[in-house]
Amino acid sequence: MKHTQKTWQGSSTKRHNTAFFLFVFLGMLTAFGPFVTDMYLPSLPAMTSYFNTSASMVQLGLTFSMLGLAVGQILFGPLSDKFGRRQPLLVSMWLFLGSTLACIFSPNIEVFIALRFIQGIAGAGGIVISRSIATDKFKGANLAKALAVIGAINGIAPVAAPVMGGAVLKVTGWRGVFAILFVLGAALTAACIHFNESLSRSKRSREKLSHTLSLFKNVLKKRKYMFCVLQMAFAQAILFGYISASPFIIQQHYGFSAFAFSLFFALNSAAIVAGAGLCVKFKRLETCILTSCAGMLIFSGLVCAALVANSSVWVFEGLLLFLLFTLGLTFTSATTLAMENAREQAGTASALLGAAGFLFGSIVSPLVGLGNILTSTGITFVICAVASCLCGLGAVRKTSVHSVQANGNAC
């Protein structure tokens, strides 16, 4: 990105944030939510023994954290439109630090699950407000580039977090994973204190908090925006379905070790990042969405066929790489089109966009485990891909954002 030394001046303070700081800051905020949900996945068996409970009870911690991420985005999005980005972000970070510390000392699984819900709500602030800040700061091609970074991180974080959690688990117990999350939260809190408000008072919502629902009513009326939200949500459902099923498919079905599983995860993460980065090379975002939809539909069908036919792991992994690559394309293009079509209520729009993805993910995650996991995973991929493609076609037909140049300077 050109002019990385350009600074941004807020409306109520003399602090300056460089473009480099903003990109690093937004990237960290975006990754935070997925790390909250997924980093502790490798420690589930250890937690089952520690709390003397069933695996399904421990897995509820994942489900409730995803629900918290959905609820939290609905909460913090409108708040950031009314009070600015910085103060709600600080509130979410302090709430995260408190809930994470409490998780470490949970006396039983029921308390732990409740705290995970609160932790999810807190982590949602970073996700929803990061997109809002990007929309405040950038327009057009530059917004696409900023959201490409966010989209890449949003794709890689959910699959990289379990790998990091597994590495931490080798040298410490499950509490160590939450201790790392606490340290990450503390670092982000410090960055939030340094962050300069990006939404001027003149652009903030004047609606009363009791009228918050009216903000959602406004964005729900935007058909172009809603098509993008649904297209993105169904695509994320494929990602979360993959995250839930892949440990069982790679380790139990194909017989690979946990370390080898981590290598698969790393390779698949690279495919998502490559797709997200390639999106900015398209002159028209509509073309990127159509390309991602076509690829998603084709490769989800091929992955399903490979799973049902019990193909070799290399056939399955090769096809899966292409499927995840198309998801990377979608994460950037759908997010950019959605936020461009709801710029005047960026916080609320970002909230609904993010909440939909985590809500769909929380629904799909347990579905891939029904019956034969190979068959159920493949069918789930195909159904979500078809639904995502239909919504993508609606977004392309309805959208007024016709093109985004691949190259541009920061606003």
Q: Is residue 2 assigned to a domain?
A: no
CATH of the domain at 48: 1.20.1250.20
Q: Is residue 176 assigned to a domain?
A: yes
What is the distance between the alpha carbons of residues 341 and 393, in angstroms, rounded to a whole number?
Answer: 16
What is the distance between the alpha carbons of residues 70 and 124, in angstroms, rounded to a whole number?
Answer: 7
Give the domain range for residue 311. 15-200+219-398
Q: Is residue 22 assigned to a domain?
A: yes
Q: Is residue 209 assigned to a domain?
A: no
Q: Is residue 211 assigned to a domain?
A: no
Q: How many CA atoms lie within 13 A of 355 on its CB side?
A: 21
Q: Is residue 242 assigned to a domain?
A: yes
pLDDT tens digits for range 259-279: 777 778 778 888 888 888 787
402 by Cβ neighbours in 10 Å (0-12 / 13-18 / 19+) ranks as: exposed
Number of structural domains in the chain: 1
pLDDT tens digits for range 86-134: 888 899 999 999 999 999 999 999 999 999 999 989 888 887 787 778 7
Per DSSP, helices labelled H in 279-345 are 285-308, 313-340
**Residue 260: predicted pLDDT:** 77
pLDDT tens digits for range 64-92: 888 888 888 788 877 888 888 888 889 99
Q: Is residue 331 assigned to a domain?
A: yes
pTM higher than the cut 0.85: no
Least confidently predicted of 62-66, 135-139, 177-181, 329-333: 135-139
Q: Is residue 1 assigned to a domain?
A: no
> What kind and span of H or E run contains 347?
helix 346-367
> What kind and span of H or E run contains 16?
strand 16-18
